[in-house]
A and B are shown apart, each in its own frame.
Chain A
Amino acid sequence: MKRFWNGYQKAIADDHYFYERSCIRQTFFPGSEAAFLKILREELGKDICDNPHQHTCTGIGYHSDVVPFDTTMTVVARLFSLMTEYGYKNYVPSCVTSFGVFTEMMTKWEEQPELKEKARQYLWEACKREFEVPENIVHPSDIIYKFRFDLKPKMKYQLLNRFTGRPLRVVEHIGCHYAKIFSHHGIGNAEFPYVLAGMIEAWGGEVIDYPERRHCCGFGFRQYLVQENRGYSIANTKKKFESMESYEPDFILTNCPGCSMFLDKWQYTIAEMEHKTYDREGYGIPVLTYEELAGLLLGYDPWTLGLQLHQVQCERLMDKIGIAYNPSEKYRGVSGLRHPSPEKPEFLKV
């Protein structure tokens, strides 16, 4: 039995990580990225390199068919060459799409070693660079999962409803490319994904199982990026909301920056188009990234974490947990200027 479950585990390096930035996360959730690096360095005392010469993995372009396989493979090789140059062996791509791209290239290189040689030749021809493959590739959510019990004693809050004393009920959504492509790279595999459920349970919450738990958030790359195709994207997200609605989740937790954004923003769109929200009161279901959740429970300022950038407001959730925050700081910038509040949606309550 123990050996059977070993197939659902993965090796996660203990320290000395080479970090790779996500295009989507830095665009929509820069506070999450900063929180992740702060948690690793300041709470866990780990070494993580944020290299100034890194760039996109091209993943969104690759899955939108505007970047060829050989190009993406060689861009991956360049990122590995930076890791090699700076003396690291543990690679941490922070986007779920990137994680899928890196695991795809590593798998292809194992199955077809001549491809790795081709990548070496291309990289040398283009950049006069060489690379070693990482010893360990993990997603940042894997690292937070690994250290979830180390973080717990440092946390000021738990996932408990302070009014009822009961655990908060949480829907978790895992980005498709975390484990659906190469399932053995995900904690719990594609069948029993536990990377977010493990955090929720460790920090006092209760995980909701619901019929469309594993359905895609609906990004679909070209299906969202081209405005005319967005019906695909919102229809898939709506299917998930309809499936989770009767379970009355307190919030949604994700490990993919794209999924976080869609699950948040499509609630606004559906509310404005159809006058429908998936909570009882008309505010929508708050959506958090795992870094925002960890940061909030550790007592970080929600306006430094970036919760003011969510369209579905998070104050009611913070009130439930008992998290202290200053509403007057919400729209204040680094200059000290307090900017006018964003326009209010017509239907979605804020």
Chain B
Amino acid sequence: MNLIEHLKEDVRFAESLKACMNCGVCTAICPAAEFYDYDPRRICDLVQRGDEEEIERVLRSDTIWYCGQCMSCKTRCPRGNVPGELITVLRKVSQEMGFFRYSEKGRQQVFLMNTLQQNILDIGYCVYPDRVDPDYHPEQGPIWRWYHEHIADIAPKLGANYHGEGSGALRDIPQEDLDEVRRIFEVTGGMELKEKVEEK
């Protein structure tokens, strides 16, 4: 399939790229552009030109994985474009076409799929303290290691219902609710994406 047509199939595409005049305000405000060799203005220009070869090249590159999704670009674009949203569409197509495997940053999607999406399916949350390993998160400092060790005794003091039933923070979500969430993933393409990304 023609890549530009594939991008346009996403309901977010039309809003994310209306008409870019290449002013570069998005790049000026972009935190990723300060840190990486990244330029959202050039991404918009490249997609707007519709050059299939160039689009495929960027879908196979690290470039599309540099954006941090802060969406500061949306606030500033004088034409109402959303480069950060265009990036989500490019990333989606990169994963669907298998192009993400050709870049180091793209391959990180396998890890994110195995952690984030798996967390949602297993426990109904993206993040849960039991799964924030102090060894993988040294930046959390000794206080996180302490909390991790004593959470069963500390969390209830803070009003949490740690692994309890019913309502409250950190409670276990009932299995029938987890089943419905999983069914949503099955019906809407969430599981299909997982299989594509994890395919060997």
Q: Which residues of A contact B (CB under 8 A)?
A: 21, 23-28, 30-31, 33-35, 37-38, 50-56, 58-61, 63-71, 73-75, 78, 100, 108, 111-112, 115, 122-123, 125-127, 129, 176-177, 179-181, 183, 190, 214-216, 218-223, 225-232, 234-236, 239, 265-266, 268-269, 303-306, 308-311, 331-335, 337, 339, 341-345
Q: Are A229 and B108 in contact (CB under 8 A)?
A: yes
Count how many pairs of residues, one from A and one from B, have CB atoms less than 8 Å apart in the complex. 256
- Residues of chain A within 8 A (CB-CB) of B117 are 61, 66-67
**Chain B residues in 8 Å Cβ range of A331:** 146
Assembled-state Cα–Cα distance A334/B160 (Å): 11
Given A55-B181, A68-B189, A343-B145, A220 and B69 contact (CB-CB distance below 8 Å): yes
B68 near A221 with CB under 8 A, answer yes
Query: Smallest distance from the beta carbon of A343 to chain B beta carbons, Å?
Result: 4
**How many residues on the B side are at the interface (Cβ–Cβ under 8 A)?**
81
Residue on B nearest A114 in the bound complex, by CB: B11
Q: Is the CB of B108 within 8 A of A310?
A: no
B120/A56 in contact, CB under 8 A:
yes
> If the complex has contacts A55-B124, A68-B193, A75-B181, are A230 and B116 also in contact, measured as CB distance less than 8 A?
no
Q: How far is the CA of A190 from the CA of B76 in the complex (A)?
A: 10
Shortest CB-to-CB span from A114 to chain B, Å, is: 9
Question: Is A342 a contact partner of B143 (Cβ separation < 8 A)?
Answer: yes
Q: Which residues of A contact B145 (CB under 8 A)?
A: 342-343
The reply to whether B142 and A215 contact each other, CB–CB distance below 8 Å, is no
Q: Which of A56, A78, A123, A179 has the most CB of B within 10 A?
A: A56
Is the CB of B75 closer than 8 A to any CB of chain A?
A: yes
State A37–B142 Cα separation when bound (angstroms): 29
Mark each residue of chain B from 133 to 163: 1 if its CB lies under 8 Å from any CB of chain A, else 0.
0001001111111110010011111111000
Inter-chain contacts of B187 with A (CB < 8 A): 74, 122, 125-126
Contacts of B54 in A (CB 8 A): none
Interface: B185 (CB within 8 A): yes
**Which single member of A25, A112, A226, A339 contacts B150 (CB below 8 Å)?**
A339
Partner of A225, one of B115, B158, B174: B115
Q: What CA separation (Å) do A278 and B169 show in the bound complex?
A: 33
Closest to B73 in A: A180
B169 and A34 within 8 A (CB): yes
| Closest partner residue, chain A, to B10 (CB atom) | A69
A304, B35: Cβ atoms under 8 Å? no
B146 touches A339 (CB 8 A): yes
Stretch at the interface among B19-27, B40-48, B87-95: B87-95
Known: A125-B187, A180-B75, A345-B142. A65 touches B95 (CB 8 A): yes
* Best-buried of B69, B125, B147, B194 by chain A (most CB within 10 Å): B69
Contact status B71-A177, CB under 8 Å: yes
The yes or no answer to B112 lying at the interface (CB within 8 A) is: yes
Report the separation of the CA atoms of residues A96 and B34 in the bound assembly, to the nearest whole angstrom.
24
Apart from A67-B193, A309-B147, what 11 extra A-B contacts exist at CB < 8 Å? Answer: A25-B169, A37-B159, A59-B126, A64-B112, A65-B112, A74-B188, A112-B11, A122-B184, A122-B187, A231-B35, A343-B146
Identify which of B35, B140, B158, B184 contacts A34 (C-beta below 8 A): B158
Sample (9) of A-B pairs whose CB atoms are under 8 Å apart: A37-B159, A55-B173, A66-B193, A70-B188, A111-B15, A126-B187, A216-B72, A225-B115, A239-B34
Residues from chain B with Cβ under 8 Å of A50 in the complex: 167-168
A52 with B171: in contact, given A268-B139, A304-B158 (CB under 8 Å)? yes
Chain B residues near A308 (CB-CB < 8 A) = 143, 154
Chain B residues closer than 8 Å to A228, beta-carbon distance: 108
